[in-house]
Structure 1
Amino acid sequence: MVVIDWWLVAAVLAGVAVGAGVAVAALHRRSSRLRAELTALERLAQRRADQVNALSHELRTPLSMIKGTTDLLLEGTPGPLTPAQEKFLTVAAHQSTQVIGLCESLLLQAKIEAGLFTPRLERVDVGVVARDVVAAMRSLTGQRQQRITVDTPQVMPWIPADPLLLTQALTNLLSNASRFTTTGGSINVRVMTMDSGVAVYVTDDGAGMTRNERERLFRRFATGRPLADGTGLGLVITKTIVELHGGEIMVHTASARGTTFLLTLPGRS
């Protein structure tokens, strides 16, 4: 016959209850601490986004005025320019445009990192977006005597996407391709449909990248070449835009053999 010591059982159960209560209290304190840290991080991200926004605005305003003034002078107002003046003003206008674009990129990236930005999705024909971006890039590639082509199906499925962000992503890829393709080189954009959505290939026959350059590709302020123009921020933003849409971006490259960027975008869920 087994004799049960109920006092001992009660003591054990009481100990378990106390231990459980202590554990729950510790978890509650830890949860409260994590919530406080999360709130502090959110406030820090918001403050950082506000600071970048203010800085971007302070930079864009005078730069836009400089750009507007140089454009007027290049148009012949108030009078004709000497060849040297025209050359210097063209450089000033070009550099102003680049810095204004950098300000916009920094602002967008800060908003995304702070969680203050979400894509405005609508039904988009990626083929139309690709053709529009290529058409807009022809003046740049023409200056560098580069051939740019686009290949899209006649009928494309609609996918949920933010057309402005998608335009920026493709523009960044084509600008990067033009920058690292030699004079007289070729750039091709190809859009294809997949079972899961749409794929876009951007291929150039430029210098390509080494393994070390490939590893640094999507880091902020890391360009494909140590002395190249550009900050590398455009590719970081492109990757972020693609991922915001639930897609992926990949790259195939080899030194002296050109580069192909592939981005995939999911179709209707």
Structure 2
Amino acid sequence: MISLRFPRTLGARIAGLFAFLLVVVTVAVSVLIREFVRRDLEKGTRDSLLNMQDRMADSLERNRREASLFAELGAQAERSEQNAADRGSAMFQVTLVEESRLRGIRLETVASGDSRELQATVLQRGFAGMPTVDYVLVKGGAGRVHLVAAAPVGGIERDRRVVTATLPLGREFLRKESRAIGGEVTLLQRGDMLATSSSCFGCTSCLRQVLSSPEQWRRMEEGHPIYFTFECNPEPQAVVAVPLRTFDGQTVALALSRSRLNERNALRNATIAVAGIGASITVALVCIFLFLVSRVVRPLRELTRAASAIAEGRYGETVPVRGDDEVAVLSGTFNRMSMSMDNAMREISDWNRLLETRVEEKKRELEEVHLRMIEVERLAAMGQVAAGIAHELNNPLSGMMGYSELGIELFRDRKPESFTPQELARMRGYFDNICGLTRRCRDIILDMLKFARQPTEEFSLQSLNDLVGETLAFLENQLRQGNVTFRTEYSPALPPFQGNALQMQQVFTNLVMNAAQAMPGGGVVFVRTRRSGERLEAEFSDTGSGIPPEILRRVFDPFFTTKPVGEGTGLGLSVSRSIVMRHGGEISVSSAVGKGSTFTVVLPVSHGNSAAPHGKEKA
């Protein structure tokens, strides 16, 4: 297979762009010229149809006058014959009849009692003594549309007579008019063909289809002419249809059509001529432009070569300077730039090494600061729960002291053999209670140690429900003192996530403690866990007073707090967000003043034993 490869140089691209634009302009101009020629030819066709319409109207008006004249002359001849029957009158009548036949007009004398009176209502006006000429739509015959002129002869009552001059607008009449105006003539009423001069069945079928449309026929009945075109084999046609009104108010369409073949041929020839001229001009201009571009692009190629050498690290490359034009000025500037870049690159290399050292130092400092912030917040949280833990320890210790004092009083100044079995049993009960209270103290201290042990950066698979449950269990007794209760809704069978248990418990503790502090008079903390696609969500809601909008957008800022001085560090939510982000998740808040706030922690689901987002995975 032969493949064509075009150069991708600047000159080739400029020449290609110029050629493309030139072709686009040429095509656009050609299209505009073709459209102009098409509209001009279409206007010529429309003007030709209008000229045909005017000539047809003149012919019909002439025929109306002739029919009216023949009817009037026939009526005069009838009246002369009644008054004085002479040979001159008879000869005139014979001549009149012959002359009317030559013009296709049929002369008849109709009496008032003739049965044909009902066939043409135009006769009624003639019997009333009024000369009339109009179109009449009849059934059957050579032409279904007749031009009828009626002239009264005279008489009284039932002896009244009318001379009619009838011109059938049939096929022969339409063919004669077609030769006179240079186009085909057709009479239609809606989809009904009345008469036509055309021998093309396809053309007449298309005419019937167009004019049978209710919309088109409504326009005809309103008296508007219609211009339209249609494709017909072998020649396309242009048509103008004008309405004719019959004596009884019916509408007949007079359609004048002519071929558009000459228009199509002229348009095709004009298109070929314009396209040929445009192509010739385009080729000539492209050749001239390529020659000019080659003269300009040569210095640019040398600049490109030198720039490629600099890009490869060979600084100091220069190009020859020819002349004093813009390209020569560019070449000189390039040479100076190339010489100065060598010194600049040495300086940049030194600065890069210095910056890399500084960046590493700052990175280590930031990591240390972040760890300190986490530790400070953890210690602050420990301080918040210390009072509650002291209270928790005080209750069992007080019980232990009370039972011990009871035992001492029972044994004071008495010998062992003096104790009754009931007193010994009561003493054993005291010791059992002391043992149970001691276990309670041990559990509280173990929970405290578990929460306070030094955190690590190790990540492992964790259960969201377990971590949240352990955090709530640790804080439950302390928050119960502030009349704060929990309502939990855990989604079962949640998949694990990669994380650090102590760090995530620190986040959950901070959120729960904040919720409790937002309800100083007591309230309910709603805790929910669920899965949303490939994410796990833990939601903490309170029934407090909510967070105002101006404060809500700053709650995650470091050192921002609304608590009095000495009661908060302002790092809780900032550190919590940092921990969640290190786990590849996010934390968000929504709040309504007077209704409460909701914090949502989102964590990614762990698939198998994949690596943790940050830190190390426990071996």
Structure 1 length normalisation: TM-score?
A: 0.67
2:320 match: 9
1:207 to 536, 545, 548: 545
Deviation digits for residues 152-203 of structure 1 (CA, Å, limit 9, x no counterpart): 1121111111111111111110011111114331101111112122011100
Shift of 1:148: 0.6
Shift of 1:34: 1.4
Distance 1:24 1:138, change over 3 A: same
Asked if structure 2 preserves the Cα contact closer than 8 Å seen for 1:210 and 1:255, the reply is: yes
Distance 1:160 1:39, change over 3 A: closer
Residue 242 of structure 1 pairs with residue 242 of structure 2:
no
Distance 1:224 1:254, change over 3 A: farther
Cα distance in 1 for partners of 2:475, 2:601 equals: 19
Distance 1:174 1:43, change over 3 A: closer
1:30 match: 351
Which letter maps to 2:535? G
2:342 match: 21
Gap regions ≥5 residues in structure 1 = 81-103, 109-116
* Mapping for residues 1-269 of structure 1, pairs under 5 Å: 9=320, 15=336, 17-42=338-363, 44-45=365-366, 74=394, 75=397, 119-226=457-564, 229-268=567-606
Calculate the aligned-residue CA RMSD, in Å. 4.2
Where 2:598 maps in the other structure, the secondary structure is strand
Shift of 1:14: 6.3
Cα distance in 2 for partners of 1:221, 1:195 equals: 34
Where 1:249 maps in the other structure, the secondary structure is strand
Distance 1:8 1:185, change over 3 A: closer
Identity %: 21
2:206 match: none
Asked if structure 2 preserves the Cα contact closer than 8 Å seen for 1:134 and 1:149, the reply is: no
Cα distance in 1 for partners of 2:463, 2:577 equals: 20
Gap regions ≥5 residues in structure 2 = 1-294, 303-317, 322-330, 403-451, 608-619
Cα distance in 1 for partners of 2:365, 2:505 equals: 30
Higher relative contact order, structure no. (Cα contacts within 8 Å, ≥ 6 residues apart): 1
Cα distance in 1 for partners of 2:337, 2:519 equals: 71
Cα distance in 1 for partners of 2:368, 2:464 equals: 35
Shift of 1:44: 4.9
Cα distance in 1 for partners of 2:571, 2:356 equals: 32
Cα distance in 1 for partners of 2:354, 2:459 equals: 36
Asked if structure 2 preserves the Cα contact closer than 8 Å seen for 1:218 and 1:235, the reply is: yes
Deviation digits for residues 86-120 of structure 1 (CA, Å, limit 9, x no counterpart): xxxxxxxxxxxxxxxxxx8xx98xxxxxxxx7x42
Shift of 1:224: 3.8
Shift of 1:16: 5.6
Cα distance in 2 for partners of 1:227, 1:44 equals: 28
Distance 1:265 1:37, change over 3 A: same
Where 2:510 maps in the other structure, the secondary structure is helix
Asked if structure 2 preserves the Cα contact closer than 8 Å seen for 1:197 and 1:268, the reply is: no
Aligned residues: 224
